[in-house]
Chain A
Amino acid sequence: MSALLEIRDLVVEYASRGGHTRAVDAVSLDVMHGETLALVGESGSGKTSLGRAILRLVPAASGSVRFDGEDVLALGGDALRHFRRRAQVVFQDPKASLDPRMCVGDVVREGIDIHALATRQEANRRVQRLLEEVGLSAADAGRFPHEFSGGERQRIAIARALAVEPEFLVLDEAVSALDVLVRRQVLDLLGALQAARGLTYLFIAHDLAVVERIATRVAVMQQGRVVECAPTAALFATPASGAAQALLAAIPRIPW
């Protein structure tokens, strides 16, 4: 398997009182075609900053990101817009990530409009198909985000991301805010979409329990660094780093 995304020595810094805070500290990671790489770590470990830097939503201080061979950090203009079609994001809180003033149809349509992927009529049909693909109904297009439950809103956010037909999705704590049953349904949906569309996922989570079923490999972050990266089964069986051991110990196990 070849790498879709190659991250090398990536550094993300935020200006803070009297200098810079390093949110991401020289991270190197590969994400393979078609896999789900879970990025796990406690709050403030730099996972979200890493995900956003890859997508060029926050600037990187140094290092490199290659997507399908292209230098993402150097992209501009049309090349950057084209990259945005290929790499999409789903955020943690669908209440915050959906514009409350837009109806669902317009939310999902936005990417189609931006990239002029379809005529007006064809766009409407696409929106309806996307809503059905994520388990909603075509009639939901006219409703507003606040009329939906948390899980349904996350499905809308997924449909918006899929509208531009990406190959790669950053799922930034995409199921963390959902309750257990809904979380399972959304994870199943993500799995089905990955199989059907051949998607590659960077799955960001703050605990290991969520990623056990979905991840191919797990990278553990601590204080801006990747301290361990291993296939899921191996990491669960023999965690090498203290951070991984702590995260494993935090998974609630039901004693039988």
Chain B
Amino acid sequence: MAANAWRQLLDDRGARAAIGVLGAAVLAAAFAPWIAPYDPTLQPDPVALRLVAPSWQHPFGTDPFSRDVLSRVLHGARVSLGVATGAMLLSVTLGAALGALAAVVGGWVDGVVSGLVDVLIAMPRLLIVIALVATFGTLSPWWLIALIGGSGWLTTARIVRAEFRDHLQREYVLAARALGASRWRIIWHHLLPAVAPQLAVAAALALAAVIPLEAALSFVGLGIQPPLPSWGNILLDGTDYLTSAWWLVVFPVAAVSLTVGSALVLADRLRVAIAGEEHGP
């Protein structure tokens, strides 16, 4: 069954393009030290090589400190996608766990989780994260993952809670209970596989949400700190030269837009493929 959805996904041109872009971004991030033509933090000649326009030597140009922008964008992918992937995994896992807990245990546990979701979902995530970062000062990438991921579990928890509650009433779960299956067994063997497609969609959407979040934080100077490059702080370095050195802005923005756009397309096509599955055989 799942094979059908997968095939349908791969038959779709948009989905293939999205997977291709994301795959290329991940490869670029993974192999950045080998692909990047220069050291991303090296400042070879801050006078002669300052703000050089794109050329064969520097395909994405250089920045105000004479650093190679292509090398910085490639290494920035490492940091940005690393933080984004970590935060996405954390938020989806946390959301799934809390949603499952609320649905399966019910009672006051459900009340607390659902109440928390209702309150927190009304607050803009970026503001929460900025407030926390401002409180704790500048953060290591690990703390950034914890903060961004820890603030993003709400929608996943909602989806998982609703799906679990629906499936708990179904006869196949009753049959498992009648057989003597424990709560854990029912969650692992029946309920999680049932929501796996929705979790995949939630993960793609979470990725699309956290990439700009990290970029925004780094752009306002609260996220990844220089000299470590991230897509957000490369952009920050370029804002003063927006009119004179377009390459400082265009390339990191393109990187963010392409990956976020691909994640959104993937989420959308996944949803269509899953819907087709449910009406299928």
- Which of the segments B23-31, B54-62, B71-79, B176-184 contacts the partner chain? B176-184
B1 within 8 A of A: yes
Cβ proximity bits A136-157 to B, threshold 8 Å, 1 near / 0 not? 0000000010110000000001
Q: How far is the CA of A102 from the CA of B186 in the complex (A)?
A: 13
A101-B171 CB under 8 A given contacts A57-B177, A110-B179, A160-B179:
no
B174 within 8 A of A: yes
CB-based contact A164/B179 at 8 Å: yes
A125 within 8 A of B: no
Other-chain residue from A91, A101, A115 in contact with B174 (beta carbon distance below 8 A):
A91
Instruction: List A contacts of B182 (CB < 8 A).
Output: 114
Instruction: List B contacts of A85 (CB < 8 A).
Output: 180
B143 within 8 A of A: no
A89 within 8 A of B: yes
CB-based contact B179/A84 at 8 Å: yes
Q: How far is the CA of A115 from the CA of B262 in the complex (A)?
A: 46
A63 within 8 A of B: no
CB-based contact B174/A57 at 8 Å: yes
Q: Please give me the residue from chain B that is nearest to A106 by CB atom.
A: B189
Q: How far is the CA of A222 from the CA of B194 in the complex (A)?
A: 37
Query: Which of A's residues lie within 8 Å of B, judged by CB?
Result: 52, 55, 57, 80-81, 84-85, 87-89, 91-93, 96-102, 110-111, 114-115, 144, 146-147, 157, 160, 164
B107 within 8 A of A: no
Other-chain residue from A88, A110, A146, A147 in contact with B181 (beta carbon distance below 8 A):
A110
Q: How far is the CA of A93 from the CA of B172 in the complex (A)?
A: 10
Q: How far is the CA of A146 from the CA of B277 in the complex (A)?
A: 12
CB-based contact B171/A96 at 8 Å: yes
Residue count of chain B within 8 Å CB distance of chain A: 20
A91-B179 CB under 8 A given contacts A114-B185, A144-B1, A146-B281:
no
B175 within 8 A of A: yes
Other-chain residue from A97, A101, A115, A144 in contact with B194 (beta carbon distance below 8 A):
A101
A99-B180 CB under 8 A given contacts A91-B174, A157-B175:
no
A88-B170 CB under 8 A given contacts A101-B193, A146-B1:
no
Q: Please give me the residue from chain A that is nearest to B180 by CB atom.
A: A84
Q: Please give me the residue from chain A that is nearest to B175 by CB atom.
A: A97
B271 within 8 A of A: no
B13 to chain A, nearest CB (A): 28
Instruction: List A contacts of B177 (CB < 8 A).
Output: 57
A96-B176 CB under 8 A given contacts A114-B181, A146-B1:
no
Instruction: List A contacts of B171 (CB < 8 A).
Output: 91-93, 96-97
B248 to chain A, nearest CB (A): 50
B190 within 8 A of A: yes
Instruction: List B contacts of A160 (CB < 8 A).
Output: 175, 179
Instruction: List B contacts of A144 (CB < 8 A).
Output: 1
Return 5 A-B CB contacts under 8 Å, by A number.
A85-B180, A87-B178, A91-B175, A100-B172, A110-B189
Q: How far is the CA of A88 from the CA of B175 in the complex (A)?
A: 8
Instruction: List B contacts of A164 (CB < 8 A).
Output: 179-180
CB-based contact B178/A88 at 8 Å: yes
CB-based contact A98/B181 at 8 Å: no
